[in-house]
Structure 1
Amino acid sequence: MSNAKDVTDSSFSTDVLAADKPVIVDFWAEWCGPCRMLSPILDDIAAEYSDKVDVVKINVDDNPAIAAKYGITSIPAVYVFKGGEVAATSIGAKPKQVLEQEFAAYLK
């Protein structure tokens, strides 16, 4: 069971841009091996930091409009949105400790 919510092109503005707290967005695709490696790490972060951030996933194959809007050309791409704006980005599968360091300002 994933701790991250699935969002779509149509729910992105409500679930991400209008969120009260920072949102970590995982841009992924079913066929992407590194995306599948990253998924349980983001689930752990979602569970551990649920009071600080929301974690959502958006399938770029099923939701091309948002992927195009944010110029997603490599996946997995993990973006942090705060106040409706991109606040931080991370490209590629990385260990949990690295993501926690990169996004430390949003996990405190």
Structure 2
Amino acid sequence: MRTLTTTEEFHELAANKPVVFMFTAGWCPDCRVIDPIMPDIESSFSDFTFVSVDRDNFIDLCIEKDIYGIPSFLAYTNGNEAGRFVSKDRKTQEEIEAFLTNLPK
């Protein structure tokens, strides 16, 4: 999974390709729980580019996009928000895969 480096990169990726942003933080225990399953999920949903967004480094972007809980997922296709799985709850592999399965491609 690539790591977001700038807010400009976020907007460029969101505008130009099917992308799923995973909002996370190093101190987040629920984020660490899903880290080991993310490579399998990325492999199963290879139509999307997956990008990790460190909440602490991009707090203004989180506020702009109403991301107040982590881990959370925000997806874009064709330059538009395609879906969001945003909450402070721990997420299972099945829940993440169900979210991704229902996204428009």
TM-score normalised by length of structure 1: 0.80
TM-score in terms of structure 2 length: 0.82
Assess, with a 3 A threshold, how the Cα gap between structure 1 residues 47 and 107 changes in structure 2: closer, same or farther. Answer: farther
Go from structure 1 to structure 2 and tell me whether the alpha carbon gap of 1:98 and 1:107 turns closer, same or farther (over 3 Å shift): farther
Runs of at least 5 residues in structure 2 that lack an aligned partner in the other structure: none
Aligned residues: 102
How much identity, in percent, do the aligned residues show? 25
SS in 2 for 1:80: strand
For the pair 1:60 / 2:58, whether they are aligned, the reply is no
Match of 2:9 among 8, 11, 14: 11
Within the candidate set 32, 37, 46, 1:36 is matched to 32
Q: By how many angstroms is 1:47 displaced? A: 2.2
One-letter identity of the residue aligned with 1:68: I
User: What is the DSSP-based 3-state SS (H/G/I as helix, E as strand, rest coil) of the residue aligned with 1:18?
Assistant: helix
Aligned partners of 2:24 and 2:55 also within 8 Å: yes
Q: Residue 95 in 1 paired to residue 96 in 2?
A: no
- Unpaired runs of 5+ in structure 1? none
Separation in structure 2 between the aligned mates of residue 19 and residue 36 of structure 1, nearest angstrom? 29
C-alpha distance in 2 between matches for 1:81 and 1:93? 22
CA RMSD of aligned residues (A): 2.0
- Partner residue in 2 for 1:70: 65
Structure 2 residue identity aligned to 1:96: Q
> What letter is aligned with 1:101?
A
2:2 partner amino acid: K
Instruction: Say if 2:24 and 2:52, in contact at 8 Å, map to a contact too.
Output: yes
* CA-CA distance at 1:107 after TM superposition: 8.3
